[in-house]
Structure 1
């Protein structure tokens, strides 16, 4: 967004600036809502039967910035004429199904939380976000970005922020913030892989590959397999994600580079999943998930401390082969596990 403000057309700059201004506020609200949820833990939620499945509702903001908007489709309802509503509904369901079937998790909070989403948010809003209570999707600007509901891994990414808030409460700054973003990329990719039935070898390991229009010189927003190669565009600039600690970016922008330095743990996961083979969610995904839930992972976790927990969990959950694969993956990106 910052690069579009510098390099885009007048309209693109205006839309990007509006998105940037709102994003700062939305992240503050997300932290606030996460704190409220944490304070209410221990209060028994209203729950359906364990096998009841997701409880989804998709609302339409109709271009406004008022949440949630008018309900357009609720759980069990038939598809509607608006493809954006249906994509959001299906994406919520696919993410719920992944966490339930693969990891035994009952929704975002593991307590049957309803999954709410709002589509058609704002005017040419170039983002999607989890605000601590619900998902929100912009329609994109139509010139650089398509509608944000089009990408299942984006939906999985944003909902996983809620899982991370619930389990580890990783601080959204510096290395803990980069881990926060990386965990969302990892499980966003796994949600897509699970829905497609792909192995680690078959997966594209891209985030947001459907999102960029043909006007953009790039393939996605990020690549877990090859950080730094997702795009190289006159307006968006080049992908500056490092793939190794040698390229770690020390900056005060982007909350200390949370969307930049996440490339390092992203590649570590890709390397571990590729070394183990098969479906990435079976072993590598389970290791990362149980590590996120481990009490040793503190809110201010560093790459090194998180790596150490993943190596330990690999051994506890599986064995020496998995422990070696995870340890080697972290070493390959310059992090001692």
Structure 2
């Protein structure tokens, strides 16, 4: 099953909050970001419906003809927006760095993510079959978002009012987060709504954080578990999310860290409701992973990451809920490692109130 939702790094509830409560400049930037994202989401929904009817992947309808057979490529949208995707090819596979730092950051982040999945989990790109990673930078004018559209990565420059200018390509965990939505689309197909959508977001945060930790050679104990650290303007906060301590990353952060505080929201067209709380309630499984990884010790990708990767790619259904995902990680921990690891994973989910 292919998920037709547009997966963006900027939580729509944050943009919705800023559209109402931010400074005049923030309100303007937030409204622009919401409008642009809504237009892309509409196109993504139509392509998703067509892909299901035709039984082809969305990428075949949204740009697969651009696939050059190489590992990755980076294009420049030149601030033209949606009609000009992917844009002008600026840097192809194994080509030297260019003067545009956003191009080089998108290239390096995509390559690091590709090699992380290949070297640690034996997966060849997002689809498991060597799919080219296509990225577009300088999307639109001062666009405050980055997203996986079902066939490629797209990065705005940031307005300096919500996201720092250049921040969205600078953060490798943001790049890996969005690319991981592609793996989820090819495997679990988690529906982007309520708990299944929160799991979709959480798995992207998990592997976004692991790619960052791997690049920094950090153990689980050494990691700060921040997603998008330093990409928001300073007045808003330190990061987009804090996996270890949900609800503490920025001034509009509503993430709970326990099921007692689960935010039951409708999945409607109000961005403040965040597709039923997919970015908001992802704090619960996020914290479970951070707790499990820390309890298991060492590098988080060695045990916790292997467990979560196996579950994402082989054990989930599109409508999987928190409890089923938790039980799957516990079972896989026992299969891959043993009783002690199984207990550590179970205790992590128990601490966030998902398991008893």
Matches within 5 A, 1:60-75: 60-65=76-81, 66-75=84-93
Matches within 5 A, 1:124-139: 124-139=142-157
Q: Displacement, 1:143?
A: 2.8
Partners in 2 of 1:30 and 1:111 — Cα distance?
23
Partners in 1 of 2:158 and 2:344 — Cα distance?
39
Matching residue of 2:297: 277
Q: Displacement, 1:34?
A: 5.8
**CA separation of 1:32 and 1:158: change in aligned 2, threshold 3 A:** farther
How many corresponding residue pairs? 322
Partners in 2 of 1:214 and 1:316 — Cα distance?
44
Partners in 2 of 1:210 and 1:8 — Cα distance?
19
Matching residue of 1:267: 287
Partners in 2 of 1:92 and 1:76 — Cα distance?
13
Partners in 2 of 1:287 and 1:32 — Cα distance?
34
Among candidates 325, 330, 334, match of residue 349 of structure 2: 330
Matches within 5 A, 1:95-106: 95-106=113-124
- Deviation larger for 26-35 or 152-161: 26-35
Q: Displacement, 1:33?
A: 5.1
- Deviation larger for 96-105 or 31-40: 31-40
Matched, 1:245 2:265: no
Matching residue of 1:312: 331
3-state SS in 2 of match to 1:325: helix
**CA separation of 1:194 and 1:23: change in aligned 2, threshold 3 A:** same
Q: Displacement, 1:30?
A: 4.2
Matching residue of 1:49: none
Partners in 2 of 1:85 and 1:59 — Cα distance?
8
Among candidates 11, 22, 35, match of residue 36 of structure 2: 22
Gaps of 5+ in 2: 1-14, 58-63, 267-272
Matches within 5 A, 1:115-126: 115-126=133-144
Q: Displacement, 1:144?
A: 2.9
Matched, 1:200 2:214: no
Partners in 1 of 2:308 and 2:45 — Cα distance?
23
Matched, 1:112 2:130: yes
Matching residue of 2:241: 222
C-alpha distance after superposition, 1:170-222 (max 9, x if no partner): 00001000000000000000010111111101111000002122333x21000
**CA separation of 1:28 and 1:274: change in aligned 2, threshold 3 A:** farther
Runs of 4+ in 1 over 3 A off after TM superposition: 27-35
Cα contact 1:172–1:255 (8 A) shared by 2: yes
3-state SS in 1 of match to 2:302: helix
Matched, 1:9 2:48: no
Matched, 1:40 2:56: yes
Cα contact 2:29–2:161 (8 A) shared by 1: no
Cα contact 1:31–1:132 (8 A) shared by 2: no
Partners in 2 of 1:32 and 1:206 — Cα distance?
34
With a CA cutoff of 8 Å and minimum separation of 6, indicate the structure with the bigger relative contact order.
2
Matching residue of 1:169: 189
Compute the TM-score of the two structures, normalised by the length of structure 1: 0.91
Partners in 2 of 1:29 and 1:305 — Cα distance?
32
Partners in 1 of 2:263 and 2:284 — Cα distance?
11
Partners in 1 of 2:282 and 2:142 — Cα distance?
27
Among candidates 99, 102, 106, match of residue 84 of structure 1: 102
Q: Displacement, 1:24?
A: 2.8
C-alpha distance after superposition, 1:120-139 (max 9, x if no partner): 00111111000010000001
**CA separation of 1:313 and 1:27: change in aligned 2, threshold 3 A:** farther
C-alpha distance after superposition, 1:75-119 (max 9, x if no partner): 111111111110000000010011011111000101100010000
Cα contact 1:307–1:330 (8 A) shared by 2: yes
